[in-house]
Amino acid sequence: MLSKRIIPCLDVKDGRTVKGVNFIDLKDAGDPVELAWQYAQQGADELVFLDITATHERRKTMIEMVKAVAKQLNIPFTIGGGITTIQDAEALLNAGADKISINSAAVKNPSLIEELARAFGVQFVVVAVDTKLVEGKNMVHLNGGRLITELETEDWIKRAESLGAGEILLTSMDHDGTKQGFDCGLLNAITQMINIPVIASGGAGKVEHFTEVFEKTGVDAALAASVFHFGEIPIPMLKQKLKDHNIPVRL
C-alpha cells in the first residue's frame, strides 16, 4: 500500500539552511547536507528545500548545494525557489534533484509547466500554490501571501494539472504559522477535483493535525517546517502515531 509521506521543508539562503534548527546532536545546523541526512535518519520520506537567496550568485550556490545533498541523501528531494526557465530546472536535475517546485513563475507563465513536463516528465514538476481566503473565495497569492492574483485556487490547480503538473504543493496562507491545523476543507475539495498527488502545507502544530489531514482529506503527503526543526514533533513518534490510526506510513 502506498504510504502517506511526511516532508520536512528547509529554507536555504546562500547555500545554508536558515531558521533556527534545534537538533541536539547536530554539529552545524546551517549545513543542509548534515540536516538532510539527519532527517533521512529520522524517517522523513522526502525533503523540500526552498531557496530564498536574493543575490545573483544564487544559481551557482544552489547547484553546489544540490550536488552535495544528492551525494549523501538516500531519499528523494525537491528544490523550489526562483526557478523560471528550462535551463534552471535542467541544471538542478543534473545535480541530483528529484523534483522542482515552481510557484510564481508558473502563474506568470503557465506554459512553463507544459515545457518542463515535456522536457523532463510530469513526475519532475511540482506546482506550489499559496492560497488565501478573500471574500469567501480561495485566491492564489504570490510573494509569500503578500500579492493577490486574479486566479481562483481551484481553477488554477485544475489548469496546472492539465498543463502537466505531476504534484500540487498547496499552502494555506490563512493557516500557515498558526499551528492550528491544516486547511482540511480546502485540501479535501482539491483532492476530489484532481488526479495527481497533493501535499498539504500550512498549519501543522501537533500530531493530531497530521492524523486529521490524512483521515479527513485525500492528501498524499504533509509538509511542515518549524514543528520538525525545533523538535516539537519527532518524526519517528509522529509516524508511530499515524500508524496507530491505521494510516499507512513507512517506518
Partner 1 sequence: MIGIVNYGAGNIFSLTSALERQHLDYGMVNTEADLDKYTHIIIPGVGHAGAAMAKLEHTGLVEPIRKLKKPVLGICVGMQLLTDHSEEGDAEMMKIFPLNTRLFNKDQGIKIPHMGWNNIDHKNNPLFAGVENLTQFYFVHSYFIEYNPTFDIATANYGMPFSAAIQKDNFYGVQFHPEKSGIAGELLLKNFSNLKY
Q: Does 95 sit near partner 1 (CB under 8 A)?
A: yes
CB of 19 to partner 1, least distance (A): 26
* Angstrom distances, CA of residue 55 to CA of 11, 14, 39, 58, 101: 15, 8, 28, 6, 19
- The nearest distance, CB 125 to partner 1, in angstroms, is 11
Q: Give how many residues touch partner 1 by CB under 8 A.
A: 31
Rg (CA), the chain: 17
Burial of 75 (0-12, 13-18, 19+ CB in 10 A): middle
Q: How far is the CB of 45 from partner 1 (least distance, A)?
A: 6
6-45: contacts with partner 1 (CB under 8 A): 40, 45
Residues whose CB falls within 8 Å of the CB of residue 41, separated by 6 or more in sequence, listed in order: none
Q: How far apart are the C-alpha atoms of 141 and 151, rounded to whole Å?
A: 8
Q: Of residues 70, 83, 163, 204, which one binds partner 1 by CB under 8 A? A: 70
Residue 60 interacting with partner 1 (CB under 8 A) = no
Q: Exactly one of 31, 51, 176, 220 binds partner 1 (CB under 8 A); which one?
A: 220
Among 11, 88, 130, 167, binds partner 1 (CB under 8 A): 167
Longest dimension (CA), the chain: 48
51 binding partner 1? (CB under 8 A):
no
* Catalytic sites, residue numbers: 11, 130
Helix (H, G, I), strand (E, B) or coil at 54: coil
DSSP SS3 for 62: helix
Residue with cell 494510516: 247
Binding site for partner 1 (CB under 8 A): 1-3, 5, 40, 45, 67, 70-72, 74-76, 93-96, 98, 120-124, 166-167, 195-197, 220-221, 250
